Structure 1
Amino acid sequence: MQIDRAVRGTARPPALPSWQARWPGWAVVVWGVLFAVPSFVWALGSTAGARSTVAPDLVRLAVDRVPWFLAVLWITGALKLVGALIGLGLSRPRGVRAGRLLAFCGGGAAVLTGWHGGLFIVHGVLVEAGSVAVAPDLLGLTRWYLYLWGPWFVAGALAFAGATVGYVQGCGPADQRGLRRSGAVGALGALVLSLASTVTGIG
């Protein structure tokens, strides 16, 4: 009996049942890789697509080749690729410890990206409704954040959430409780971080 329990505790989760359960993970991979491209392009010196879709202050930092901002671009690009790797990890069965780490990261990423995109959309809607005023020369930029960046972040959040839930559901019943707990802890931590950054204005 003890040997049986030990084997079950260290066994790999069963294979995910179908492409239907795995496609959200691959959606995260595509999302992360596509999202990383602009960061690397801008870090290399090009401002293609940035002047109309990104805040002017950030574009100026890229044009002036400010070292710390270039470092931020490289780091954010790398983090987006890490997000793609998390999606790849969630698309296939892993060991118990790796699975819990993936569930933690997936839950956290879903909240972080969803919060970020939601703020862009809410702000854009308020501007369009006339409830919030912005400088006339920033109105076009606000619409880019409303119709491009906000939905893009929300799409990433849905992909992360779907990949995490699909991964948990594809694992054995004995492992699902721990995976759900890891995902919930990651999501809660991301929510606290998002609230703190919003209140303090950092991020």
Structure 2
Amino acid sequence: MAAWGLLFAVPSFVWATGGTFGARSTVAPSLVELARDGVPWFLAVLWVTGLLKVFGALIGIGLTRLRGPRISRFLVFCGGGATVLLVWHGGLFVLHGVLVEAGAVVVEPDLAGLTRWYLYLWGPWFVVGGLAFAAATTRYLRRHDDRRGLRLHGAVGALGALLLSSVSTVTGVG
């Protein structure tokens, strides 16, 4: 999972430094323009996103060994949240792509190819990462003595992530 997070962070850092390698055909043109034009707020978003992905890799590493109570609660909270955020986000990409491919949703012709990238690459990539967090967190819980208490922290993290994801989807921010 750590390798997944680090690999996932690379495009964010490349795009934050002004590069557009891989972005032109796989990311919305409006986002490519923001990166290419060096729009400060968008570059900050890319840096923060990249750092969050590295943080996710560190959480993945943390879930490989039993830790003390405080760190365990934090790891399980983050693992539950990451699971929901990634599966939800990727699932929305896949669902939208399936609806476009089925003709139930119409997109501009120049965005049809981009929709396929979200359907076949980005959506599944997010879902796989979320499932990896779910597996790592579940494995961590099974090995820990305080499973019941830790499950509560994981559930709170998951519900918080679901609320955050829902609000960002409804407001059009995410």
TM-score, normalising length from structure 2?
0.98
Partner of 1:179: 150
Per-residue CA deviation, residues 42-91 of structure 1 (Å, 9 max, x unaligned), is 11121110000000000001111111111111111000000001001001
Q: What is the deviation of 1:193?
A: 1.4
Partners in 2 of 1:201 and 1:193 — Cα distance? Answer: 12
Return the letter of the residue paired with 2:54: L
- 2:85 and 2:139 map into 1 onto residues whose CA distance is 19
Q: 1:190 aligns with which of 155, 161, 166?
A: 161
1:135 Cα deviation after fit: 0.5
Q: What's the counterpart of residue 128 of structure 2?
A: 155
How far the C-alpha of 1:155 sits from its partner, in A, is 0.4
Separation (CA, whole Å) in 1 of partners of 2:165 and 2:21: 29
Uncovered stretches (5+) of structure 1, i.e. residues with no partner: 1-27
Task: Tell me the number of residue pairs that the alignment of Structure 1 and Structure 2 aligns.
Answer: 174
Pair 1:168 & 2:125 matched:
no
1:126-145 equivalences in 2 (<5 Å): 126-145=99-118
User: Cα RMSD between the aligned structures?
Assistant: 0.7
> Percent same amino acid at aligned positions?
72
| Offset of residue 119 of structure 1 | 0.3
The two structures have a TM-score, normalised by structure 1, of 0.84
Deviates more, 1:63-72 or 1:134-143: 63-72
Counterpart of 2:81 (choices 100, 105, 108) is 108
1:83 aligns with one of 26, 34, 56: 56
- 1:88-145 residue CA offsets vs partner (Å, 9 max, x unmatched): 1001110011101100000001000110000000000000000000000000000000
Counterpart mapping for 1:11-22 below 5 A: none
Deviates more, 1:180-189 or 1:139-148: 180-189
Equivalent in the alignment of 1:45: 18
* Distance (Å, rounded) in 1 between the aligned partners of 2:157 and 2:44: 26
Q: What is aligned with 2:44?
A: 71
Query: Greater CA radius of gyration, 1 or 2?
Result: 1
Which gives a bigger RCO, structure 1 or 2 (Cα 8 Å, sep 6+)?
A: 1
Residue 31 of structure 1 pairs with residue 10 of structure 2: no
1:200 is the counterpart of 2:174? no
Give CA deviations for 1:9-35 in whole Å, capped at 9, x if unaligned: xxxxxxxxxxxxxxxxxxx21111000
In 2: Cα distance, 1:52 partner to 1:72 partner: 20
Q: Tell me the amino acid that sits aligned with residue 124 of structure 1.
A: G
